[in-house]
Amino acid sequence: MSLEELTAFTDSLQESKYRAKQIHNWIYLKSVSDINQMTDISKSSREKMSQCAQVTDVKIKNRQISSDGTIKYLLEFADGNCVETVLMRFDNRANLTACVSSQVGCACNCKFCATAKLGFIRNLSPREIIEQVLTIQRDTGLKVTNIVFMGQGEPLLNLDNVLKAIDIFNIDFVIGIRRLTVSTCGIIPQIKRLAELDFQPTLAISLHAPNHELRKSLMPVENKYPIEELMTTLKDYVGVTGRRITIEYTLIKGFNDSVECAKQLAVLLIGLKANINLIIYNPNDQDDFEKPSKESIQKFKYILEQSGKKVTIRLERGADIDAACGQLSNKYK
């Protein structure tokens, strides 16, 4: 709940507005998991609230810690459905980034993605999205500083709930809007909807191929929202919002990591205000793709840089616990 919703809640119990602020602090700043931990609220008020509310019903079903410090959680919701959530730390940065899921499973069926094998099960509610970050904060005692919607599910196919969660992250967790990133495989109507908002989270596009035919063989979404139309939509988006976008491109050996692909991508992105984030394919046990060679990665990066774009190679986190990009599959379950 936002502070406004908490105030409506405390009003309904004939509690003061100050109560709402106290509860808000306990949940979002002090990360408590139980109303009884809110020790500056009288016992009688806590008992009254406990009869009709609870802070959380999410269970940590499994927790894996990578040798690089990444933590992957398997979280179980009240209906028994589970999602994976990842906390990433980077040695030389103070940032703590939570990679959250937006759906149980996913309908998009990208060929390199372990989540796709689960199929689509259901959307997550705003509360279930927010609970992922609260659970991390409760479990580690740390404050998450950045959130990326790059876990399980396609966030733009659950946009209303994602936007509600983003509001709470922005206002109640006090995480700046530019530190909130939504990654999409390219759902064009919803990108247009994002462009109409008063302010936007950072938008990342999972492109992964430089032309229609290659992308179609990797990502079925290309059949519905082809790359040419996607590029036009992105240019319009940048024109309306002024925001730079991120193009994510997973390099897969022998598939999309050639010099020709790099040149095509450079041409495709001419005129688009975008940075490029190259992701090294992370093998999972559910497809036959392979990691690219170091030489092909460097060549690919060089060609894009020559075209004037800023190019970064995403640091691989948590691959030893299947927590890296494309590896989230609820394997434990």
Name the strands in the sheet holding 274-280, side by side, starting at the edge strand that comes first in the sequence.
Answer: 59-65, 71-76, 82-89, 96-99, 146-149, 180-184, 202-206, 245-251, 274-280, 311-313
Q: How far is the CB of 230 from ligand SF4 (least distance, A)?
A: 14
Does 324 interact with ligand SF4 (rule: CB under 6 A)? no
Binding flags for ligand SF4, 168-187, as an x/- string (CB under 6 A):
-----------------x--
The residue within the footprint of ligand SF4, chosen from 58, 74, 99, 113 (CB under 6 A), is 113
Does the footprint of ligand SF4 cover residue 311 (CB under 6 A)?
A: no
Sequence-ordered list of residues with C-beta below 8 angstroms from that of 38, at least 6 positions apart, any chain: 22, 23, 26, 32, 46
Asked if 319 is part of the footprint of ligand SF4 (rule: CB under 6 A), the reply reads no
Sole binder of ligand SF4 in the list 7, 115, 250, 329 (CB under 6 A)? 115
Cβ at position 287, least distance to ligand SF4 in Å: 12
Among the listed ranges 18-26, 104-112, 276-284, 296-304, the one in contact with ligand SF4 (CB under 6 A) is 104-112
Interface pattern 47-86 for ligand SF4 (x via CB under 6 A): ----------------------------------------
Question: How many residues bind ligand SF4, per CB under 6 A?
Answer: 11
Q: Does 116 bind ligand SF4 (CB under 6 A)?
A: yes
- Return the number of the residue (107 or 171) whose C-beta is nearest ligand SF4: 107
Task: For the CB of residue 296, give the shortest distance to ligand SF4 in the complex, in Å.
Answer: 22
Please identify which residue in 23, 49, 88, 110 interacts with ligand SF4, judged by CB under 6 A: 110
Window 140-159: residues binding ligand SF4 (CB under 6 A): 152-154
**Looking at 67-75, 106-114, 227-235, 303-311, which segment touches ligand SF4 (CB under 6 A)?**
106-114
User: Is the separation of the CB atoms in 152 and 102 below 8 Å?
Assistant: yes
Task: Respond yes or no: is residue 84 known to be catalytic.
Answer: yes
Rounded to whole angstroms, the Cα distance separating 299 from 202 reads: 28
Q: Which of 84, 154, 222, 248 is catalytic?
A: 84
Residue 325 annotated in active site: yes
Structure tokens at 174: 């006090």
Tell me the catalytic residues: 84, 325
User: Which residues in this chain contact ligand SF4 in the complex, by CB under 6 A?
Assistant: 106, 108-110, 113, 115-116, 152-154, 185
